[in-house]
Chains A and B, each alone.
Chain A
Amino acid sequence: GAGVSQSPSNKVTEKGKDVELRCDPISGHTALYWYRQSLGQGLEFLIYFQGNSAPDKSGLPSDRFSAERTGGSVSTLTIQRTQQEDSAVYLCASSRSGGVGGYTFGSGTRLTVV
């Protein structure tokens, strides 16, 4: 597709369950970012992938959070043993290397932990 695709668009899960969120970036975009936006809060950086380099995981809030990017394309953000404070909109963005041409954001996955 022409844009960044995220799935699912909405996810309700029980506390303690694991969830996987998917991001399909724009073809040819080597940089991929995950952010989250909690209710009433600003955007929070989570993790950054650039090509085949080791990802920058400095924004991950705990070891329950992890992300992979297979083949330099699709990325999966996994949250283990979800907690209520994990409820947020999780956004993915992609760009060419160095941000050339700007960033394109996906429409996000709204995660609700009950």
Chain B
Amino acid sequence: KNEVEQSPQNLTAQEGEFITINCSYSVGISALHWLQQHPGGGIVSLFMLSSGKKKHGRLIATINIQEKHSSLHITASHPRDSAVYICAVRNLDRGNQFYFGTGTSLTVIP
């Protein structure tokens, strides 16, 4: 069983749509991260969360510690948002080890 589960695995949206990517985890965490990886490109850290909600531009990330769940929202999606979005958690019980979700591949169609 994966410690971090993401859904959906693949997502296709029309430009302008509101997008939600979900992440559930089963371990105690000190922080949760959302990462973005463009095709053939590097990885960018979008958010680090330990509680509540963060917003950066059209991106919003929320976390519910009690439910062990986080969501990444993209408002007014654009083709340049097409990328793989990865949820990662820093395991509270195992020092500094990170667990990663397998990623959500997002394609935004013009």
- The interface of chain A, by Cβ under 8 A from chain B, is 33, 35, 41-45, 48, 50, 56, 58-59, 91, 93, 99, 102-108
Contact = CB atoms under 8 A, between A and B. Distances in A.
Chain B interface, >50% SS class: strand
B45 A104 contact: yes
A108 B103 CA distance: 18
Contacts of A102: 45, 47-48
Contacts, number: 50
A104 to B, nearest CB: 7
B42 A44 contact: no
Interface residues of B, number: 22
B97 A99 contact: no
Interface of B: 31, 33, 35, 41-45, 47-48, 86, 88, 94-103
Chain A interface, >50% SS class: strand
Nearest to A103: B45
Contact of A43 (B44, B86, B94, B95): B86
